[in-house]
Amino acid sequence: MTPVLHLRGPVLVGPDEPAPEAWIVGGRITFERPSGDTTTVDGWVVPGLVDAHCHIGLDAHGAVDDATSEAQALADRDAGALLLRDAGSAADTRWVDDRDDLPRLVRAGRHIARPKRYVRNFADEVEPDELVRTVRRQAARGDGWVKLVGDWIDRDTGDLAPCWPAEVLRPAMDAAHEAGARVTAHCFSEDSLADLVEAGIDCIEHATGLDERTLPLLAERGVAIVPTLINIETFPGIADAAAGKFPAYAAHMRALHERRHATVGAAYDAGLPIYAGTDAGGALAHGRIVDEVRELARAGLPAVEALSAASWSARAWLGRDGLVEGASADLLVLDADPREDLRVLHDPRAVVLRGVRRAGRWS
């Protein structure tokens, strides 16, 4: 029989809502003291972290086998990321839902891109006249999200450029919303943003091209961003590799990288909802959500807001429970208050998923 665990906190139900203690009974959180014996665990308790942009089942060459997907999910879990928004994968990862020891996945289906305008083997590649039908197909494949590739390098012009004509975007958004899905888009450049937001998009990934023209538009519409700052760290290397053939693109990528922290800071000041995502999968290793949280703090978010971007607010945005009565016990136990020092997230005393300790130093 699974023991009843007594979490002698503080238990951070919200950013400013510490409860003195909680219990885990039958894999679920309760704030009502149960009868019988308990095992006490001391520490600061926060909800399991959220990686709001990663790719389970994907590496730099496309879909991977189940064993590799499992290793990716375990790396995220052991780093404390217990809820993952999979922002596009070519692999079928539905089997993960049957594994109690793996993080919960919220899928966006497969990326939707223009032919030869994205990473090979990643996307469902279609022309604009097929976009609406493809959005419907990927909405059925996902868990309430659809992912567009909003811009990519145009080799004819030698720089980033929008992928979709403005006139096809509104019907595509409408099709997703009618299917009960929200829409997000990969966007590096400045020029792809306005059309997507005017068409009714719900979220922008990366958002490195935000500027004084588009920030007010996103703020007015309440469009969220997931900056993936640890992925933006790769831009100088991408620029170096492309400089000989595409010098304008290389210079553009370097400029976007140079102002990345200022861009996110301005988005925070403008009131945009911001969530933490690593872009793990593809070229980046899984298990780095805490690095992303700390990057958000370096960009100007207060520590508690950077933490919320990967916990309380991110869970609410994805429609998943945090530390509330009766919720699944998906949480971290920490040595100190993470609102004061985000570094404690790197070494949790316990990572608890579905009421069972899966990682950490406590045994």
Q: What is the mean pLDDT of the chain?
A: 96
- What average pLDDT does the segment 111-133 reach? 96
* Cα within 13 Å of Cα(258), Cβ side: 7
**The pLDDT value given to residue 304:** 98
Q: Which pLDDT does position 102 carry in this prediction? A: 98
| Average pLDDT over every residue of 286-314 | 98
**Model confidence, pTM:** 0.97
Specify the pLDDT at position 363.
59
The average pLDDT across 62-83 equals 97
Domains of the chain, each with CATH number or no CATH? 5-46+322-359 (2.30.40.10), 49-317 (3.20.20.140)
Helix (H) or strand (E) holding 248: helix 247-258
Q: Is residue 202 scored above 90 in pLDDT?
A: yes
Contacts of residues 233-242 at CB distance under 8 Å and 24 or more positions apart, as own/partner, are 233/257, 234/283, 234/284, 235/208, 242/153
Q: 1 pLDDT band (50/70/90 cuts)?
A: low
pLDDT in tens, 318-353: 999 999 999 999 999 999 999 999 999 999 999 999
DSSP string, 204-224: EEE-TT--TTTHHHHHHHT-E
Once rounded to an integer, what is the mean pLDDT over residues 299-306? 98
| Assigned token pair, 144 | 């309430």
| pLDDT 10s digits, 225-242 | 999 999 999 999 999 999
